[in-house]
């Protein structure tokens, strides 16, 4: 099946008992048994598995063209599950631009377990390869990255990583956070990645009304390890969240096309605005990694970042001048959201680290929603007029 058909039907077939077209919400914590060790159906206890979560995991695996998916209570919970694969003394190589919550998890939580983080100087495959050490177990990257939308060649990085052997005699695992492009526009497993993670809160959910995360893999043994952790740690989404995510998946292809259509118009407006110092958008032909858009993506999400002239005072005036666009964390919903990475999404990074990767006080991230783009542009212009 093609992608839009998969999004509508995978894991979402009519209920065999009632004929319900939408998968019923299984609001139960436990399931009846017919005797000791005799399950009446497939399920025993809702932390271990649940009909709603089971259907969602089939859907997510299908849209990522993967074999297995595991759903979690948040994107951070899914990242933590991947990090549980590590042992004290192991090392991670990460690209420079990663989500602030990921940075916080790496540097402020897992550092006490003697897990070392080696940050590549840039996103070129050669640099990432040079950053590998004999203790590297995971290579973690975002493409496009948050918030500056840097890209890297997933297939080339995967080849280099898989040709490397650490002192354990194993190849590092390549982990791709695919939250920004969503499965509609990029499928890292098809390009050689070992693990794909998602904050399903964003584009997969798509309605700003649910917190959840997911992991997708192909390897059987890797799945079993992650499945064990999911059950043991118990950071799983409740059934209604699973239902809402499946609802979001059904419209994912359509929504992503509209996000893309809108962001091109808004990005072009920003580039031609006298108040704007610089625009970060992979759709521009002069963007440093623009050629990778066509090579490994089917489209671009509704994300654009930009710097305005002046410092934090101008940013505050600009935000205050907005009437339609909402200042808030998160992204990928139907409404357009704007944020200030230095004090919001990437506040966990020290100022020195922010400066290294280009996060300045005048940097703004915009998640372009599903509104009429002309209304968004008018709102932005009125806010620019205040500065």
374: CATH: 3.90.1150.10
In terms of domains, do 340 and 380 share one? Answer: yes
In terms of domains, do 259 and 230 share one? Answer: no
Could you say which of 49, 68, 90, 202 is catalytic? 202
47 an active-site residue?
yes
In terms of domains, do 263 and 229 share one? Answer: no
Tell me the pLDDT band of 162, cut-offs 50, 70 and 90.
Answer: very high
pLDDT surpasses 90 at 381 = yes
In terms of domains, do 176 and 319 share one? Answer: no
In terms of domains, do 121 and 95 share one? Answer: yes
CB-CB neighbours of 137 under 10 Å:
20
Q: Which of 74-78, 340-344, 353-357, 376-380 has the lowest mean pLDDT?
A: 353-357
Read off the pLDDT of residues 207-250 as tens digits, 9 standing for 90 and up: 999 999 999 999 999 999 999 999 999 999 999 999 999 999 99
Read off the pLDDT of residues 133-142 as tens digits, 9 standing for 90 and up: 999 999 999 9
Mark which of 201, 221, 247 sits at the end of a domain. 247
In terms of domains, do 276 and 192 share one? Answer: no
pLDDT value of residue 288: 95
Read off the pLDDT of residues 43-68 as tens digits, 9 standing for 90 and up: 999 999 999 999 999 999 999 999 99
150 an active-site residue?
no
Mark which of 206, 228, 247 sits at the end of a domain. 247
Helix then strand then coil, % of the chain, to nearest 5: 40, 15, 45
Read off the pLDDT of residues 139-157 as tens digits, 9 standing for 90 and up: 999 999 999 999 999 999 9
Could you say which of 90, 150, 153, 177 is catalytic? 177
Mean of pLDDT values over 263-284? 98
In terms of domains, do 348 and 261 share one? Answer: yes
Q: Single out the residue of 351, 342, 335 nearest to residue 305, CA to CA.
A: 342
pLDDT value of residue 33: 94
Q: Single out the residue of 224, 199, 222, 384 nearest to residue 301, CA to CA.
A: 199
Tell me the pLDDT band of 17, cut-offs 50, 70 and 90.
Answer: confident
* pTM score: 0.97
In terms of domains, do 336 and 242 share one? Answer: no
Rounded to 5°, angle at Cα 249 from 365 and 14: 170
In terms of domains, do 233 and 88 share one? Answer: yes
258 an active-site residue?
no
Instruction: Please report, for the domain that includes residue 11, its CATH number.
Output: 3.40.640.10
Termini Cα distance of the chain: 51
pLDDT value of residue 89: 95
In terms of domains, do 230 and 256 share one? Answer: no
The whole-angstrom separation of Cα 246 and Cα 59 is 7
223 an active-site residue?
no
> For the chain, what is the domain count?
2
In terms of domains, do 68 and 110 share one? Answer: yes
In terms of domains, do 217 and 297 share one? Answer: no
Could you say which of 68, 99, 203, 229 is catalytic? 99
pLDDT value of residue 77: 98
pLDDT averaged over the chain? 97
Mark which of 247, 271, 301 sits at the end of a domain. 247
The whole-angstrom separation of Cα 110 and Cα 255 is 36
| 176-201 b/e (C-beta count within 10 Å ≥ 16 → b) | bbbbbbbbbbbbbbebbbbbbbbbbb
Q: Single out the residue of 57, 73, 67, 15 nearest to residue 234, CA to CA.
A: 73
Q: Single out the residue of 67, 349, 53, 7 nearest to residue 206, CA to CA.
A: 7
Range of the domain at 168: 3-247
pLDDT surpasses 90 at 102 = yes
């Amino acid at each position: 099946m093609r992608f839009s058909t998969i999004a509508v039907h995978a894991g979402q077939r009519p209920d065999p008992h009632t004929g319900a077209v939408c998968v019923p919400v299984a609001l139960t914590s436990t399931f009846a048994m017919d005797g000791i060790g005799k399950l009446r159906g497939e399920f025993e206890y809702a932390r271990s598995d649940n009909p709603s979560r089971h259907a969602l995991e089939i859907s997510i695996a299908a849209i990522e063209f993967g074999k297995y998916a595991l759903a979690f209570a948040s994107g951070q919970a899914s990242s933590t599950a991947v990090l549980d694969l590590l042992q004290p003394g192991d090392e991670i190589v990460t690209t420079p631009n990663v989500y602030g919550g990921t940075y916080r998890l790496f540097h402020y939580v897992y550092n006490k377990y003697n897990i070392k983080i080696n940050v590549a100087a840039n996103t070129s495959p050669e640099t990432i390869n040079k950053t590998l050490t004999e203790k590297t177990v995971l290579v973690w990257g975002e493409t496009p990255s948050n918030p500056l939308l840097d890209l890297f060649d997933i297939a080339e990085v995967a080849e280099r990583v898989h040709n490397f052997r650490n002192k354990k005699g194993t190849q590092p695992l390549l982990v791709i956070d695919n939250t920004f492009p969503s499965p509609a526009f990029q499928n890292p497993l098809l390009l050689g990645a070992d693990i794909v993670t998602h904050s399903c809160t964003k584009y997969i959910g798509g309605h700003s009304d649910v917190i959840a995360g997911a992991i997708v893999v192909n390897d059987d043994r890797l799945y079993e390890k992650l499945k064990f952790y999911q059950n043991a740690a118990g950071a799983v989404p409740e059934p209604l969240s699973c239902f809402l995510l499946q609802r979001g998946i059904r419209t994912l292809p359509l929504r992503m096309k509209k996000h893309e259509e809108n962001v091109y118009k808004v990005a072009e407006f920003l580039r031609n605005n006298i108040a704007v110092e610089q625009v970060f958008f992979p759709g521009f032909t002069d963007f440093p990694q623009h050629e990778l858009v066509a090579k490994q993506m089917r489209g671009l999400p509704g994300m654009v970042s930009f710097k305005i002239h002046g410092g934090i005072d101008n940013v505050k005036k600009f935000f205050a001048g907005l009437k339609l666009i909402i200042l808030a964390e998160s992204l990928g919903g139907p409404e357009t959201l704007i944020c200030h990475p230095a004090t919001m999404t990437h506040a966990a990074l020290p100022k020195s680290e922010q400066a290294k990767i280009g996060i300045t006080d005048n940097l703004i991230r915009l998640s372009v929603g599903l509104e009429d783009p002309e209304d968004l542009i008018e709102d932005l212009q009125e806010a620019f007029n205040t500065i």
